[in-house]
Amino acid sequence: MNEVMCLSIVRASLILVEGNKVIHQKLEIYDNNRPAATHMSLFIKKENKRWKN
């Protein structure tokens, strides 16, 4: 039981890490085109809308 739980926790954290990498890559791409602060606020607005629905 404990081994299975540990494995699923590790998998979940790996998925989170991969997701964070993707987000950071997207942010870096946008940073080249526009100031980071404006993009970050747009990104947060989009995420908030997505979570509310």
Q: Which residue ranges in the chain fall short of pLDDT 70?
A: 1, 24, 26-40, 53
pTM given for the model = 0.32
Confidence (pLDDT) at 45? 77
In the numeric block, the tokens 């494995």 are attached to 7
Confidence (pLDDT) at 5? 76
Confidence (pLDDT) at 15? 75
Confidence (pLDDT) at 30? 57
Tokens of 40: 């970050």
The span from the CA of 39 to the CA of 53, in Å, is 22
